[in-house]
Structure formats: C-alpha cells, structure tokens
Amino acid sequence: MLLSCEKDISLNLDEALDRMGKSSELMERALLFK
C-alpha cells in the first residue's frame, strides 16, 4: 500500500482497510480472510 509510505499523510489504517473492504466483495474476502 503506497499510502502507508507517505509520512505527511495522517492515515487511520483500520478505517482505510474497512473502507477498502466495503468497496467490493472480493476485497472484503481478501482483507477478512474468509
């Protein structure tokens, strides 16, 4: 993930993963290891 490399961007990783997971069923499965 490129966003985690940016030092000047405040990023809540849990929130980012939640948003990505909700964007598609495939991403949700991949992130939640279902």
- In tens, the pLDDT along 4-21 reads 565 666 677 788 777 776
pLDDT tier at 25, thresholds 50, 70, 90: confident
Greater model confidence, 28 or 9? 28
Token look-up 């279902």 returns 34
The secondary structure of 13-34 as a DSSP string is: HHHHHHHHHHH-HHHHHHHHT-
In this prediction, residue 7 carries a pLDDT of 62
pTM of the model: 0.41
Within 13 Å of residue 13, how many CA atoms lie on the same side as its CB?
6
